[in-house]
C-alpha cells in the first residue's frame, strides 16, 4: 500500500472531531461503503488507515447503524477522500449521492412516503432522527414553480461537507422524484448565516 504523510491534517482532524454533535452510524456507514464501491478495498483501506493514524480509528465492518458517532467523522472522511484519494468537488458530490443509495435510511424514506412534497416538508424530522447538530428546514416550497428552499442552520464543519450534503440530499430526494436537482445558493463558510440549498424539479 502507498504510504501518505497526513500529519499536516492532524490539526484540522482534531478541530472537526471536537465540534459537538453526533450522527447515526447508518449515515457514516453508507459513506464508507460508497468509497469502497467506487475505489474498491484499496481506497477504503487508505481512508481507514488514515483515520487510525490521525487517532480516530473506524472500520466499515465494525460500524453499528444505530450507534452514535461524532458528526465530525463524516466531515473528516470527506476531507480525506479529497486529500488522499484525489476526489474533485464533483467526486465528493457523487460519492455522497452514492452513499444515500446505500443507506437503509434512504430505503425507509422510499418505502414510507408517497410524495416528494411530503419528503421535502419533513426534512427537519429526518435530519433530527439521524444528526443531533444543526437545524434543517424547508424554508419555502413552491409547487407551482417547482422549487423548494432548504436552510441548514448552526452547522459549520468544513467547506467539503457542503458538497457532500448536496449530493446526499439529492440522492434521498431522487427516491421519490427522479427529475430533481439541487444547488447550494448560500454557504455558512462564505459569510452567510446558514447553508441554503435550492431544489428544483420538472
Whether 77 and 148 share a structural domain: no
Lowest-pLDDT choice from 18-27, 94-103, 189-198: 94-103
Over the stretch 84-112, which tens digit does the pLDDT of each residue have? 999 999 999 999 999 998 876 666 665 66
Which position has the grid cell 452567510? 192
Boundary residue ending a domain (61, 81, 101) = 101
pLDDT of residue 193: 97
- Structural domain contains residue 107: no
Whether 92 and 125 share a structural domain: no
Kindly report the average pLDDT of the chain as a whole number: 92
Whether 13 and 88 share a structural domain: yes
Q: Which CATH number do you get for residue 170?
A: 3.90.1520.10
Over the stretch 103-137, which tens digit does the pLDDT of each residue have? 766 666 656 666 889 889 999 988 998 899 999 99
Query: Could you give the number of structural domains in the chain?
Result: 2
Query: Distance between alpha carbon 104 and the CA centroid of its chain, in Å?
Result: 14
Domain holding 51, by residue range, is: 9-101
Residue 2 has pLDDT above 50, yes or no: no
Secondary structure of the chain as H, E, C letters: CCCCCCHHHHHHHHHHHHCCCEEEHHHHHHHHHHHHHHHHHHHHHHHHHHHHHCCCCCCHHHCCCCCEEECHHHHHHHHHHHHHCCCCHHHHHHHHHHHHHCCHHHHHHHHHCCCHHHHHHCHHHHHHHHECCCEEEEEEEECCCCEEEEEEECCCCCHHHHHHHHHHHHHHHCCCCCCCEEEEEECHHHCCCCEEEEEECC
Which position has the grid cell 439541487? 182
pLDDT of residue 99: 94
Whether 169 and 89 share a structural domain: no
Whether 80 and 125 share a structural domain: no
Amino acid at each position: 500500500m502507498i504510504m501518505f504523510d497526513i500529519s499536516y491534517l492532524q490539526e484540522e482532524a482534531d478541530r472537526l472531531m471536537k465540534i459537538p454533535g453526533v450522527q447515526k452510524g447508518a449515515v457514516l456507514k453508507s459513506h464508507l461503503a460508497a468509497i469502497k464501491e467506487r475505489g474498491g478495498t484499496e481506497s477504503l483501506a487508505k481512508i481507514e488507515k488514515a483515520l487510525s493514524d490521525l487517532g480516530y480509528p473506524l472500520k466499515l465492518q465494525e460500524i453499528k447503524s444505530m450507534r452514535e458517532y461524532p458528526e465530525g467523522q463524516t466531515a473528516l472522511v470527506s476531507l480525506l477522500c479529497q486529500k488522499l484519494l484525489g476526489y474533485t468537488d464533483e467526486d465528493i458530490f457523487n460519492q455522497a449521492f452514492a452513499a444515500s443509495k446505500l443507506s437503509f435510511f434512504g430505503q425507509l424514506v422510499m418505502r414510507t412516503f408517497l410524495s416528494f412534497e411530503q419528503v421535502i416538508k419533513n426534512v427537519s424530522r429526518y435530519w433530527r432522527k439521524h444528526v443531533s447538530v444543526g437545524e434543517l428546514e424547508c424554508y419555502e416550497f413552491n409547487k407551482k414553480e417547482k422549487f423548494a428552499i432548504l436552510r441548514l442552520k448552526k452547522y459549520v464543519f468544513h467547506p467539503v461537507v457542503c458538497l457532500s450534503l448536496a449530493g446526499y440530499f439529492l440522492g434521498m430526494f431522487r427516491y421519490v422524484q427522479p427529475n430533481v436537482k439541487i444547488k447550494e445558493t448560500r454557504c455558512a463558510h462564505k459569510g452567510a448565516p446558514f447553508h441554503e440549498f435550492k431544489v428544483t424539479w420538472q
